[in-house]
Chains A and B, each alone.
Chain A
Amino acid sequence: MANPMNQFEVKTIGPKIEIGNFDISFSNASLFMVITVATISLLFIFATQKKSLVPSRLQLLAEMAYEFVAKMISETAGSKARPYFPFILTLFLFVLFCNMIGMIPYSFTVTSHIIVTFALAIFIFIGVTIIGFVKHGFGYLKLFVPSGVPVVLLPIIVVIEVISYLSRPVSLSVRLFANMMAGHTMMKVFGGFVISLGLVGGWLPLGFSVALTGLEILVAFLQAYVFAILTCIYLNDALNLHH
């Protein structure tokens, strides 16, 4: 029977390309990232082509995505975060579509690889840190010094706060990756049960499979939402420095 982890294997498509020590060949992961970006772009291009007052379904979909993210940003990070709206919208749509396209049978889930989610998270982390220092100068370091702490405890608290700050990209990326990988592995395992138990006992795992698929679609959306909202929260820390 097929190994449940086989679905996560990265395979090279086409010729092998190397620059220095880096293998930058086009793989199935790259292919699905291209598909994701193309799907989002096409969706938005077609949806906004005919800007009617009473929107078509496609236009409604695009408007809903836009409003959803706009609301999320204004609720969590305030009006100061408005310039970063394009970035958050792109991020949210990219993660969402990667997750959702991964739900199609025989496709590849890009976000089930820690290196992809970690690259996104570390980019956000470095970006937010730079924004913080640009907006507040060295005053941004006050983030690590909570108010009302006795001077004796200060050295320890600062170290703890710094580690807690550094752990952000790790927890952000691990959460998305772990959810996607666990979900897809579980679906594959239950799918395997259906085959191996056959006509007699396969009905129960089949039911589970159906339920899990529903759950996975919810998780796919939820994790994209969580990823975007945590980015907003980190951005909020950088823009509105307070305790």
Chain B
Amino acid sequence: MELKELKDKVKEIQSELKEKEIKEKNANPLGIAMKMGTEFVAAVFVASFIGFYVDKWLETTPVFIIIFFIIGSVAGIFNVVRSSKMINKD
């Protein structure tokens, strides 16, 4: 009998925790903004990095860094759209 009561209590607390978890997941706009920011910047950074070294290699400065910067920006927007889709799915 006691064990059963304990079981019910555990279940109750667990469901409460779950609700809290869901609330916390949604109630963190700063974290989401931070995530989006890094997603975008990372893509631009990586692409520009590649562009810079391709330029250095082919001695065509600044053709490829400009091209890759633009591609990187597009990729960054892709990343942001993708991760926002993931948040909406949750």
Contacts and interface: CB of A to CB of B under 8 A. Distances in A.
Interface size range of chain B in the complex: 20 to 34
B73 to A, nearest CB: 10
B79 A167 contact: yes
A164 B38 CA distance: 12
A175 B34 contact: yes
Contact of A166 (B31, B34, B46): B46
Instruction: Give the most central of B38, B39, B41: most A CB within 10 Å.
Output: B38
A170 B39 CA distance: 9
Specify the main secondary structure of chain A where it touches its partner: helix
A180 B43 CA distance: 21
B75 A174 contact: no
11 contacts: A160-B71, A160-B78, A161-B78, A163-B50, A164-B79, A167-B42, A167-B46, A170-B42, A171-B79, A178-B34, A226-B31
Interface string A176-195: 00110000000000000000
A171 B34 CA distance: 10
Contact of A178 (B38, B71, B72): B38
B28 interface: yes
Contacts of B79: 164, 167, 171
Contact of B43 (A167, A175, A178, A222): A167
A222 B31 contact: yes
Instruction: Give the most central of B41, B45, B75: most A CB within 10 Å.
Output: B75
A160 B75 contact: yes
A134 interface: no
**Can you list the 7 inter-chain pairs with the closest CB atoms, starting with the nearest?**
A171-B42, A170-B42, A167-B42, A167-B43, A163-B75, A164-B75, A167-B46
B46 A163 contact: yes
A159 interface: yes
Contact of A222 (B28, B41, B42): B28
B35 interface: yes
Interface string B66-84: 0010011011101100100
Given A163-B68, A163-B71, A167-B39, 13 more contacts: A160-B71, A160-B78, A161-B78, A163-B43, A166-B46, A167-B75, A167-B76, A170-B45, A170-B46, A171-B39, A171-B42, A174-B42, A222-B28
